Copies of this chain bind each other. A is one copy, B any other.
Amino acid sequence: MRSPICAMLGIEFPLLAFSHCRDVVAAVSRAGGMGVFGAVRHTPEELREELAWIDAHAGGRPYGVDLIVPNRIAGKGQAFDGDRLIAALPEEHRSFVAGLLAQRGIDTADLDDRRADRLRFARNLDAAGAEEILDVAFSFPIRLIANALGVPPKTMLERGKAAGVPVAALVGAKEHALAQIAAGVDILVAAGGEAGGHCGEISTMVLVPEVVSVAGDTPVLAAGGIVTGGQMAAAMAMGAAGAWCGSVWLTTAEGEPDPVIKEKMLAASSRDTVRSRSRTGKHSRQLRSTWTDAWEAEGAPEPLPMPLQSLLSEPALGKVATLAQGGHDGARDLATYWVGQGVGLMTQTMSAGAVVQQFKADFVAAAERLNGLLEG
């Protein structure tokens, strides 16, 4: 496909794959789309290793990196102090989480150790941590760098410009798009409220034309609920330059979720997700489970701000995931993962490369369907 975004990114088909799984990233890039590696869970050393693997397996095709550097963050601007973060977890929240697990026969003695282990994530979210990650990212020939929450830090924009790497940013409202354009981002990702992970409330069907209407020459990628080439064509009929998809890769053969989660996703309907602050402290959409239900129930504590809530949820859900894999029923019920409403359309497992080819075929069929109506 010849289009400005394809030229800008050096790709054939404007399907961008956000994934925490290096295999997905490389496979999508090889298939003519662009894989974008979610770096937030990794230390700088780990990220270097992952990107080296991707670089060696992407067949010389372009790939990108995605970070989360939120605007407002607990402790931003202060020196990183892990002990202070752990000490900031209220006893009410600790015991709520411990109770949730204990009620289902899960031992909670090691949660504090797991919290300490988790701190490297919080580390990436402060300014100095983010800078180290950027050092690693820009040491590879990346063709895109994205910020998943809010306006990218100035350093990311400057380094992108210096290296000739387009900077993308996710937006959930027209007002955010205007702020991003003013800050100088090169690509907007308009993410509807049906998206997995962090999301706003405006649906993709409304948000895409709204953002396109103010974006001028800045290309807009559509995100939120898109798991087929027909939906991608729909978004592009409304003026999007391409699609940014995350959920659809989760149930691919390569996808990172545990088999228990993949099985839940393949069985889920579009009504089996919930937009909740219980995982990260900001609203993010995820698979409904006894964990998310408990946080939504009356009397549950109010989720903490970022990054504190992750210090509660991730160590517990990490433990849950391990037990669920081992066949623990209570853990299986609690297990959850980020996914969008498009999960209802994800009903079979194929390889990530096959998903890209299916997108292309469905895209063409959708465009021909519309064209046929004009001729009819």
- What 1/0 flags go to A215-239 for Cβ under 8 Å of B? 0000000001110101101111111
The distance in angstroms between the C-alpha atoms of A193 and B345, with both chains bound, is 17
A interface residue numbers (CB < 8 A to B): 1-3, 173-175, 192-194, 201-207, 209-210, 213, 224-226, 228, 230-231, 233-239, 269-271, 340-342, 344-345, 364, 366-371, 373-374, 376
Give the chain B neighbours of A366 by CB distance below 8 A.
237-238, 370
Give the chain B neighbours of A194 by CB distance below 8 A.
202-203, 205-206
What is the count of identical protomers in the complex? Answer: 2
The answer, among B209, B231, B235, for a CB contact under 8 Å with A345, is: B209
Across the interface, do A376 and B2 meet the contact criterion of CB distance under 8 Å?
A: yes
Interface centre among A205, A224, A271, A345 (most CB of B within 10 A): A205
Across the interface, do B206 and A270 meet the contact criterion of CB distance under 8 Å?
A: yes
Across the interface, do A370 and B373 meet the contact criterion of CB distance under 8 Å?
A: no
Across the interface, do B370 and A237 meet the contact criterion of CB distance under 8 Å?
A: yes
Across the interface, do B174 and A203 meet the contact criterion of CB distance under 8 Å?
A: no
The distance in angstroms between the C-alpha atoms of A235 and B269, with both chains bound, is 20
Across the interface, do A236 and B205 meet the contact criterion of CB distance under 8 Å?
A: no
Given known contacts A203-B204, A370-B370, is B271 in contact with A173 (CB within 8 Å)? Answer: yes
Interface centre among A2, A174, A206 (most CB of B within 10 A): A206
The distance in angstroms between the C-alpha atoms of A228 and B174, with both chains bound, is 17
Across the interface, do B174 and A206 meet the contact criterion of CB distance under 8 Å?
A: no
Residue of B nearest to A340 (CB): B206
Across the interface, do B376 and A1 meet the contact criterion of CB distance under 8 Å?
A: yes
Q: What's the minimum C-beta distance from A373 to chain B, rounded to whole angstroms?
A: 5
Interface centre among A194, A364, A373 (most CB of B within 10 A): A373
Across the interface, do B370 and A201 meet the contact criterion of CB distance under 8 Å?
A: no
A-B contact pairs, 6 of them (CB 8 A): A2-B376, A206-B270, A206-B345, A233-B237, A364-B374, A368-B374
Give the chain B neighbours of A206 by CB distance below 8 A.
194, 225, 270, 340-342, 344-345
Across the interface, do B201 and A203 meet the contact criterion of CB distance under 8 Å?
A: no
Q: What's the minimum C-beta distance from A205 to chain B, rounded to whole angstroms?
A: 4
The distance in angstroms between the C-alpha atoms of A366 and B341, with both chains bound, is 25
Give the chain B neighbours of A369 by CB distance below 8 A.
236-237, 239
Q: What's the minimum C-beta distance from A254 to chain B, rounded to whole angstroms?
A: 23
